[in-house]
Amino acid sequence: MPIVTPSSYRPPTLFSNAHVQTIFPSVFRRVRGVKYQRERVDTPDGDFLDLDLTRPGFDRVAILLHGLEGDSNRAYVLGMVKALNRGGWDTVSMNYRGCGGECNRKLRFYHSGDTADLHTVVSHVIGRYQYSRVALVGFSIGGNMILKYLGEQGSSLDPRIVKAVAFSAPCDLASSAIKIGMPANRVYLKRFLRMLRNKIRMKMRVMPGSISDDGYRTIKSFKEFDDRYTARIFGFRDAEDY
């Protein structure tokens, strides 16, 4: 049952197809003029997170979370950064572990319900900078992380966090995995699995013996990937438990 009433939005004629809406901006959209300042934050488990900041000097900040295998330089993140700067917000774009251009020190990477690193970033931003208001903005699994984080924090949420927005969050992971595995969507699935394999190979070079991509070609779904990697690394029983 939908939690949002039917929208009155109608896309332009040439963009009425969902695949066109997905592929066109990924291939052709260019966002210029964003100049980041990189900052590295240590995590409690001895790893690090790379943050990309824009600080025009406002008294409020938005923390941005990208989607699966994205990063702070994706067009949708850059576009949001520009819009927020124009609207009077500084920004902090978070790169998940392994997404900032350098392989992390630990085997752990990230998943849709992993909020520990988000909490580290929120605590760092609030503790280091004197912002009066903080907003959280997440795309895809970044939206998942934010929504779960808000629920976990509950009444303990820092009062300076006054806004949160989640775009296209795949809240039901099981049904989302089935949907992307359908023939019409497999081009996206194959791309994600290829990118995730590259990430695993990076970790193999940094921490040989801890992880392997032997037999990876037999993985044909997110469920199979999560059974083999996500569940094992994060202590879940299997993909269903995750």
Domains of the chain: 13-171 (3.40.50.1820), 173-242 (no CATH)
> CA distances (Å), 226 to each of 65, 177, 232, in order?
21, 10, 8
**Any residues with CB less than 8 A from the CB of 197 and at least 6 apart, and which?**
213, 216
Q: What is the pLDDT of residue 1?
A: 41
Query: Residues near 73 by Cβ (< 8 Å), separated by ≥ 6?
Result: 52
DSSP state of 17: S
Please give the model's pTM, rounded to 2 decimal places.
0.93
DSSP per-residue string spanning 60-111: EEEEEE--TT--TTSHHHHHHHHHHHHTT-EEEEEEPTT-SSS--SSS----
Q: Report pLDDT digits (tens) over 156-172.
A: 999 999 999 999 999 89
The band of 144, judged by pLDDT with boundaries at 50, 70 and 90, is: very high
User: Which backbone phi and psi does 26 adopt, to 5 degrees?
Assistant: -65, -35
8 Å CB contact between 85 and 41: no
> Taking a C-beta distance cutoff of 8 angstroms, is the pair 197, 216 a contact?
yes
Residues 6+ apart with CB under 8 A from 56: 85, 90
What does the DSSP assignment read for 166-227?
A: EES---SHHHHHHHHTSGGGHHHHHHHHHHHHHHHHHHHHHSTTS---TTGGG--SHHHHII
Give me the mean pLDDT over the 107-130 stretch: 96
Cα separation, 1 vs 32, in Å, equals 39
Over residues 185-209, the mean pLDDT reads 95
Mean pLDDT, residues 212-216 taken together: 96
Is the distance from CB of 7 to CB of 58 less than 8 angstroms?
no
Distance CA 79, CA 96 (A): 19
Band (pLDDT 50/70/90 cuts) for residue 13 is confident
Phi then psi for residue 161, to 5 deg, are -80, 105
